[in-house]
Structure 1
Amino acid sequence: MAEQILILDFGSQYTQLIARRVRELDVYCEIHPYNKIPEITSDIKGIILSGSPCSVRDEGAPDLDLDQFRGKLPVLGVCYGSQLLAQKYGGDVTPSEIREYGRANLTHLDLHEDLLKEMTHGSQVWMSHGDTIKTLPGNFKVIASTPSVEVAAFKVEGEETFGIQFHPEVTHSTEGKNLLRNFVVHICGCPQDWTSDIFIDATVSDLKEKIGDDKVVMGLSGGVDSSVAATLIDRAIGDNLTCVFVDNGLLRKNEYEEVLDSYKHMGLNVIGVDSKQRFYDALLGLSDPEEKRKAIGKTFIEVFDDEAHKIEGVKWLGQGTIYPDVIESVSVNGPSATIKSHHNVGGLPDFMKLKVVEPLNTLFKDGVREVGRALEIPENIIGRHPFPGPGLAIRILGDITPEKVATLQEVDHIFIKGLKDNGLYDDVWQAGAVLLPIQSVGVMGDERTYERVVALRAVTSVDGMTADWVHLPYEFLGNISNEIINKVKGVNRVVYDISSKPPATIEWE
């Protein structure tokens, strides 16, 4: 096991971002709920306490016994984590007189402290808190302040325990990476050796040991996660891996043929399965998004199970599960509200008697892409926009018919090709088109039309947890709209979605 930093999650929206920033330093880290702490082994070199939407003053607020590691390992409390440290040892945390949200500047910095080395006076940081540490316990000392917050950072004298009121993990904290490097590398002593090449070597070795001479079957989607996972398993066991790529009739235009061709050029052992009609039959008459997702998921499993039974001696199922899937399946405060269903991490129906292997379940999406490039997977797969598992079914609002799919495929093709031809594709994290369940009046060739409306969607994001709509050039949008209306029969109006996530989601369903 690599030496690592343990991040204890109190429910902050930024916890995954802390982990990603630590990983960017080539240091391994794991996130665990504050109430499900793993055994503190010698591999753990330091602990970060995350922020939280709660107040330490609330009844039933997240709490834990800090004495189990305080003074024994370096500890960094971030926002809520810092307030918890202060309150539990005799400090006073009160509601802020001036609630600090957004940018602030550190007007006092003790640059002799290891945590703050190479930072500068006036350094911009990002605040997000409604409480303030009013007084510190006797052996705690202030090491940084802002004009309105005296205790912006503190250190416990005689031990490597620190608290900061700001968020170093967000890009608005301009020297936040310096602070995290100081803590993780210099104070905790973690080696910066968790690289893509090391990950590949260790993972392939582990897969060889775990799987041995067994056979593995894996479903491919054409996306980066399943492609990278399959390539790692292929390196470990070669032809004992069989990949299945299913045409569910809900892929993008020509995607089935193009992706199948890409996989074969990568040397993967791939079976293509045309199951379009089977999926259309399962979706017949369904309009509710959750019902559509469940019908598609159920049919995928049935098709996949049929194909797996054709391969003699299969004992494992390969999956492209990544770290955010794992984290989000373990809630800090019990099950979260269902926004929309997705695969159950490590879960399989009872009738599929297969063990699960998930070689990417410690990586974030950007880490997966780095590993993919190190594996020399084609860039058209590595740089491919995320595409929803249910495909175009959740971009067609209402019931699904082959005719609607064909219409949306043409619209989507024009939009995505336009982004690529105009050098905009790589500036966008995800893009697609949505077929709306409404019709609008139009005029074509002096005749009245009453035809379909499509919405175009393009967002920027890091990991899909939040997203902003892309300010695509008006001229580009105008040209794409004209091309869609002129070339796609049955569409006479194009709109552009300018909603961010939150409050909207990236997909419409």
Structure 2
Amino acid sequence: MTTGSALTPPSGTDRIVILDFGSQTTHLIGRRIREQGIFAQIVAGTAPVEEWLDEGVRGIILSGSPSSIHDDDPPLPDRRIYSQGLPLLGICYGLHVTAHLQGGEISRAETREYGPAPVEVVTNHEITSGVSRRFTSWMSHGDAIRRLPPGAREIATTSHGVTAIVTIPECSFVGLQFHPEVTHSEQGIQILDNFAAGVCQARRQWSVENYLGQLQEELRGQAGDKPILLLISGGVDSSVVAALLLQTFPPEQVHLMYIDTGLMRKDESVEIGAALRKLGARNLYLIDAEERFLSALAGVTDPEKKRHIIGDLFISVQEEEIASRLSGDYLLAQGTLYTDLIESGHGSGGKAKSIKSHHNVASPLVKKKREAGLILEPLAALYKDEVRDLGRLLGLPEEIVGRHPFPGPGLGVRVLGEVTRERCDILREADAIFIRELRTAGLYDAIWQAFAVLLPIQSVGVAGDSRAYGNVVALRAVTSTDGMTADVYGFEPAFLRTVSAAITNGIPQVGRVVYDCSGKPPATIEWE
């Protein structure tokens, strides 16, 4: 399973095909549908129908896009989708492009509409079955319908009179001006399920359990008897890949390498070594490369450059270390998730905008490996919560499966500014204190991701009776289901005061602690 490969269902599985025009939330549409037990497959928005259409397709969704129908070369679907007799659902750009192609008129809005908007259902339709007559939607668009296509009917409008839901019966189309896939849209999951299970009558056949057997079969077919090397980061994703590989292939075929970059969390290297041995690893290589990474990062402050340096050095160290252990071709396995691909601009449609690069997606050396067909990415079609479910299915302990996400570049993207051993040590201690206090308060499992960030500034404070300048640590804690949208966790003020005191009292170099209150969007979860 390589990057960009479409997740294909077992034979006989009903599915909804999502045409991806580059929206950063396209994958969320598929995720929401799969949450309902219905298989969703994402393909390029401009792909011809013969590439994906077969008897298993029960409906088609046209995603949003950063593009506009008024662009010089907007992405267009294969027009044959409108004559297949299949139900169609258009979301934002998917609505605009369909309305345009069916004879309607789309105009640029005077102001971009972004955020919550009240919607009122004015006409009964199957798409709004069980939905409140009034609900709050989430808008993100610069275009709007000025004139409906012939035969079209409004199903719902916003409080500003903007068409929110429209149907074009002639081509079995329903269009939404808002984004039902994001958690900010009330009734969004109900609307998507109404389409997939109601309008399309797709059967609920999807589960991680059903997918595991297919995944293992695909991995065996792709790898054959070639040696497989997995770089272990210490996070959930690479741990699940390790368990998957060890249960799919003979243990002698699987080589696990943990590179201690000096950018890991406190005591992580010791814990990871013990966990990998429990998984049954026979070829386990624990590499101390702290000095190499810190030297390569000396003086570097740009976050993208740091990611590329870390990603390239990962591969370089791996190649040097493995040369004495493996000969001939070997496959490199990674814990890449679909969200990593989306944020790096590698969505199925090829039109996604890059939010940030991921070291296991954008690194030039990783690209070279991928182009040579020497990369296994068995999680590239899954979302984080599905990966956790897969880990449990494989028998991983909850302390590994339930662990908060940790970025591949490690503390390199949580130490803002220059990365040094001293600054990493400060952040390691602050992060450990934060996590300790979360566990003590029984809050760790209620949070999707929590961590500390060391800011590249100092703040005046008082140490004893003296004026002093100390480092500033930012705390981040969010709730989420898949990592692509997130809300800030609402701590009680007393808890934040406790954590702040523990950090400033326990780490002399830190003089101030702040809490990050930004959600995603507009921010990302990580700071860099």
The question of a shared fold, defined as TM-score above 0.5 by the shorter chain, is answered with yes
| Partner of residue 339, structure 2 | 324
1:256 is matched with which residue?
269
1:207 equivalent in alignment to 2:226? no
Contact 2:470 2:509 survives alignment (8 Å): yes
**Cα shift at 1:22:** 1.2
The answer on 1:176 being equivalent to 2:188 is yes
Secondary structure of the residue that 1:106 maps to in structure 2? strand
Q: Is the 8 A contact 2:117 2:158 kept in 1?
A: no
CA shift at 1:247, angstroms?
1.1
Q: CA deviation at 1:255?
A: 0.7
In the TM superposition, residue 438 of structure 1 has moved relative to its aligned partner by 3.6
Aligned to 2:3: none
Amino acid at match of 1:436: L
Write the mapping of 1:142-181 to structure 2, written as runs, cut at 5 A. Answer: 142-145=154-157, 148-149=160-161, 151-157=163-169, 159-181=171-193
Partner of 2:36: 25
Residue 455 of structure 1 is aligned with which of 470, 474, 477?
A: 474
Shift of 1:461: 3.7
Q: Which residue of 2 aligns with 1:136?
A: 148
Change (3 A) 1:108 1:36: same
Q: Which amino acid aligns with 1:348?
A: V
Distance 1:428 1:19 in 2: 23
Q: Could you tell me how far apart the structure 2 residues matched to 1:505 and 1:93 are?
A: 31
| Deviation larger for 466-475 or 229-238 | 466-475
RMSD: 3.1
C-alpha displacement of 1:159: 4.9
Shift, 1:153, TM fit: 3.1
Report the more deviating stretch, 227-236 or 327-336.
327-336
Matched, 1:223 2:242: no
Aligned position for 2:366: 348
Residue of structure 1 in register with 2:286 after alignment: 272
Partner SS, residue 261 of structure 1:
helix
Higher relative contact order (CA 8 A, sep 6+): 2
Distance 1:253 1:137 in 2: 60
Q: How do 1:26-105 and structure 2 match up within 5 A? A: 26-37=37-48, 39-42=51-54, 43-57=56-70, 59-94=72-107, 102-105=116-119
CA distances 1:227-268 after superposition (whole Å, capped 9, x unpaired): 112222221103111111111111111011112212222323
Aligned mates of 2:461, 2:39 — CA distance in 1: 57
Q: 1:438 to 1:165 in 2, by over 3 A?
A: closer
* 1:87-486 to 2 correspondences below 5 Å: 87-94=100-107, 102-110=116-124, 113-122=125-134, 124-129=136-141, 131-145=143-157, 148-149=160-161, 151-157=163-169, 159-239=171-251, 240-269=253-282, 270-313=284-327, 315-327=330-342, 328-330=345-347, 336=353, 339-340=356-357, 342-344=359-361, 348=366, 355-486=374-505
Equivalent residues of 2:119, 2:156 under 8 A apart = no
TM superposition shift of 1:69: 4.2
Give per-residue Cα distances to partners, 1:440-490, cap 9 Å, x unaligned. 444333344444333323333444444444332222222222222222233
In the alignment, the residues of structure 2 paired with residue 323 and residue 337 of structure 1 have an alpha-carbon distance, to the nearest angstrom, of 14
Query: What code does the residue aligned with 2:216 have?
Result: V
Deviation at 1:203, TM superposition (A): 0.9
Query: Which has the larger displacement, 304-313 or 19-28?
Result: 304-313
* AA at the equivalent of 1:424: L
Q: Over residues 181-228 of structure 1, what are the superposed CA-to-partner deviations in whole Å (9 max), with x where a residue is unaligned?
A: 232223334321110110111111222233233221111111111111
Q: Distance between the aligned counterparts of 2:235 and 2:385, measured in 1?
A: 13
Kept in 1, the 8 Å contact 2:232–2:239? The answer is: yes
State TM-score, norm by structure 2.
0.85
Structure 1 portions without partners, runs of 5+? none
SS of corresponding position for 1:344: helix
Identify if the C-alpha distance between structure 1 residues 491 and 324 changes in structure 2 by more than 3 Å, giving closer, same or farther: closer
Q: Please, which moves more after superposition, 27-36 or 233-242?
A: 27-36
- Return the alpha-carbon distance in structure 1 between the equivalents of residues 18 and 514 of structure 2: 43
Q: TM-score, normalised by structure 1?
A: 0.88
User: Aligned partners of 2:291, 2:479: CA distance in 1, in Å?
Assistant: 34
> Alpha-carbon deviation of 1:338?
6.6
Judged with a 3 Å threshold, the aligned counterparts in structure 2 of structure 1 residues 334 and 257 are, in CA distance, closer, same or farther, namely: same
TM superposition shift of 1:304: 1.1
C-alpha distance 303-503 of structure 1, shift in aligned 2 (>3 A): same
Q: Which amino acid aligns with 2:489?
A: V
Cα distance in 1 for partners of 2:91, 2:421 equals 52
- Between stretches 235-244 and 30-39, larger displacement belongs to 30-39
Q: Could you give the per-residue CA deviations for residues 246-300 of structure 1, whole angstroms, max 9, x where no partner exists?
A: 1111111101111221222232343322222222333334344334333322321
Q: 1:144: Cα distance to partner?
A: 4.3
